[in-house]
Amino acid sequence: MKKILMTGFEPFGGESINPALEAVKLLDGVVLNNGIIVAHQVPVTRFKAIEVVIEAIKYHQPDYVITVGQASGRAAITPERIAINMDDFRIADNDGNQPIDQPIIMNGPNAYFSTLPIKAITQALQQQGIPCQVSNTAGTFVCNHLFYGVQHYLRYTQIGHGFIHIPLLPQQATFGDQPSMSLDLIVAGLKIAAQAVIDNAFDIPLSGGSIC
């Protein structure tokens, strides 16, 4: 059985809930076809987030890691293609850090690409009627920070890793000016994504680019 470590961030930015954490908690221990998911909570804190996930990797010894975070303004589940070596926080993290234009890893590569089959994930969710599209930017906050840092740690291993952004929950979008997705649909989407990771040793040629 393959083991997938799936992580979710704690609430941040004055929120009382984070859909990433709520979703992965519900997926903890879920058995897949030839796999199982183990979940772990991550702080929204520069450097600590990376350290916590590295410790979880050491403890669980997974075959794959899927890090998950919320993305306000997005209407679909979005597997990320690339992480950049840049912290440029628009708001402070949960420890009050707000770096501007600072590298995550000094003298590290400019970017790392996901080592998960992001196109296969996208197709699997779309085929089940769940909104999903490839994203080409993970932002410059703690989501991108964690994505880059974990990729850097895993760079010489066979452990696949990638980051998936999910929409807000309906209770986070009560003003009506932000798209949202139900927790049930998010959980279903992440479960399908995890199965797609197990089922696809290589990604598929599916258009996922953008014009601008």
Active-site position among 40, 145, 161, 165: 165
H or E segment and range at residue 117: none
> Which tokens hold the place of 203?
């990604």
d(CA 23, CA 116): 19
CB 81 within 8 A of CB 134: yes
Active-site position among 132, 143, 145, 161: 143
Please state, as a whole number, how many other Cβ atoms lie within 10 Å of the Cβ of residue 13.
14
d(CA 42, CA 21): 8
CB 67 within 8 A of CB 39: no
> Catalytic annotation on 165?
yes
Active-site position among 40, 80, 132, 161: 80
> Catalytic annotation on 143?
yes
Provide the CB-side half-sphere exposure for 156 (13 A, CA). 0
> Catalytic annotation on 132?
no
Catalytic residue positions? Answer: 80, 143, 165
